[in-house]
A and B are shown apart, each in its own frame.
Chain A
């Protein structure tokens, strides 16, 4: 997982720590925070998209067949998708250390 590079020395920090590159938060991969990952059971999934709506990281997206999956580069493993899923099609699995 590619991580954001920090300035080598304090002299390289811009005044006010301003950021001139738009959208560069995407280079910070929050997936490294995850202790659990969401696993979809597509046999139970009704394709309602509630997981997509509730994901606070906006990392859940629709796949080709209309099912849903999380981008694990950004998924923090918060479990909100599993909590909200009506047919309980998502389970949170412990990440292996």
Chain B
């Protein structure tokens, strides 16, 4: 393990990709982007890695180029953000249906309109049902680690599904953090070469992405759903392998000082760091508060989440996206669905917060916890909205 260096997280994500022996990267190189694509193009241009860097005319094309390259057996990466991810949307379910292990880095940013560009989770929440493995990083080190893990997870013979690693736009992607990089030898020891299930090659013809009649479409959907659910086992296995080699362990759901806590805060992404400071502050004044952080969004970590929130009286779910006209934020809605049958389920308090780059401070988390104690119903609330 090398020494700690200061680096912007977006650039670190590209450096991590550079360690993964990729064959092809296809990106739309202008807005909306982060520094990931820009720096990755530098790495390829400077000859530091032997890869094709395809600059295409749109994100619809970048993800399509990735699908094509992946179908030939190549190791493929792409990066996008916000509107770019929205423009990829049509192709995303096709990539997962074809079981192509494309790895994506997504700098989470609000979607228009109105045009905003700053951080929230509205871009990825709109891709919820695309059949991809969806993970959220909390800090720069996790971005490096999880980028490298993503290739091993996606390409594993028991998975064969695309992955998207979410990192909060600006809050993470544009921050300079102290980071540790594994060496090339260490990554090589962790990440084997891709062994594709099938490749497009004239010597051994195969048809991918075939037309499905009503007689088989339902079965194909069942296979895809099962593949995504079953991938959790392999994801956990690979995270444990990473932990053994590098000493940093990853779990689908992380708990922080949550044991015996009456009130739990639930977060996804970078706000977990801020919330953990708020938990420390609240514990100092005798409040029974803990924190639960979801790292894995798809496949949904049913058992792990249920275990993590067991016994708490109030669960405060932080949603960084709005489900317009719905019954709460996307995370809260799913958690309510998860615990619907549970006898001793906690009361759910749901805040829609941190939208479009609105800063959420330690004090904000403390206020939200205090207000949650007084809240009588389980309706959702736009935290911090001016009234």
> A residues engaging B (CB < 8 A)?
6-7, 9-11, 13, 15-20, 22
Does B98 make an interface contact (CB < 8 A)?
Answer: yes
Indicate with 1 or 0, residue by residue over B204-220, a CB within 8 angstroms of chain A CB atoms: 01111110100110111
Residue of A nearest to B98 (CB): A16
Number of chain B interface residues as a range: 20 to 34
B208 & A16 in contact (Cβ 8 Å cutoff): yes
A22 & B99 in contact (Cβ 8 Å cutoff): no
Q: Of B205, B209, B223, which one neighbours A13 at CB under 8 angstroms? A: B223
B206 & A20 in contact (Cβ 8 Å cutoff): yes
Does B198 make an interface contact (CB < 8 A)?
Answer: yes
**Additional pairs, 20, CB under 8 Å, beyond known A16-B208, A20-B198, A22-B205:** A6-B216, A6-B219, A7-B216, A9-B219, A10-B218, A10-B219, A10-B223, A11-B223, A15-B197, A16-B97, A16-B98, A17-B210, A17-B212, A17-B220, A17-B223, A18-B207, A18-B210, A19-B206, A19-B207, A20-B206
A6 CA to B220 CA, complexed, in Å: 12
A7 CA to B220 CA, complexed, in Å: 10
Show 18 A/B contacts (Cβ-Cβ < 8 Å), sorted by A.
A6-B219, A7-B216, A7-B219, A10-B219, A10-B226, A13-B216, A13-B222, A15-B197, A15-B227, A16-B99, A16-B160, A16-B208, A17-B97, A17-B210, A17-B220, A18-B98, A18-B198, A18-B207
Residues of B near A17 (CB, < 8 A) are 97, 210, 212, 216, 220, 223
Tell me the B154-208 residues at the A interface (CB within 8 Å).
160, 197-198, 205-208
Q: Least Cβ distance of B187 to chain A in Å?
A: 27
Q: Least Cβ distance of B209 to chain A in Å?
A: 7
Tell me the B80-125 residues at the A interface (CB within 8 Å).
97-100
Q: Of B160, B218, B219, B222, which one neighbours A15 at CB under 8 angstroms? A: B160
Residues of A near B208 (CB, < 8 A) are 16, 18
Closest 8 CB pairs between A and B? A16-B99, A10-B219, A19-B207, A22-B205, A10-B222, A16-B98, A15-B99, A13-B223
Residues of A near B227 (CB, < 8 A) are 15
Residues of A near B212 (CB, < 8 A) are 17
Indicate with 1 or 0, residue by residue over B333-345, a CB within 8 angstroms of chain A CB atoms: 0000000000000
A19 CA to B208 CA, complexed, in Å: 7
A22 CA to B210 CA, complexed, in Å: 12
A19 CA to B216 CA, complexed, in Å: 13
A11 CA to B198 CA, complexed, in Å: 18
A16 CA to B272 CA, complexed, in Å: 36
A84 CA to B144 CA, complexed, in Å: 62
B223 & A15 in contact (Cβ 8 Å cutoff): yes
Residue of A nearest to B209 (CB): A16
A11 CA to B223 CA, complexed, in Å: 7
Residues of B near A10 (CB, < 8 A) are 218-220, 222-223, 226
B206 & A18 in contact (Cβ 8 Å cutoff): yes
Q: Least Cβ distance of A13 to chain B in Å?
A: 5
Tell me the B213-261 residues at the A interface (CB within 8 Å).
215-216, 218-220, 222-223, 226-227
Residues of A near B100 (CB, < 8 A) are 16
Residues of A near B222 (CB, < 8 A) are 10, 13
Q: Least Cβ distance of A25 to chain B in Å?
A: 9
Residues of A near B223 (CB, < 8 A) are 10-11, 13, 15, 17
Q: Least Cβ distance of A75 to chain B in Å?
A: 19
Residues of B near A18 (CB, < 8 A) are 98-99, 197-198, 206-208, 210
Residues of B near A6 (CB, < 8 A) are 215-216, 219
Residue of A nearest to B97 (CB): A16
A10 CA to B223 CA, complexed, in Å: 6
| Residue among B99, B216, B218, B223 with the highest chain A CB neighbour number at 10 A | B223
Residues of B near A20 (CB, < 8 A) are 198, 205-206
A13 & B206 in contact (Cβ 8 Å cutoff): no
Q: Least Cβ distance of B133 to chain A in Å?
A: 15
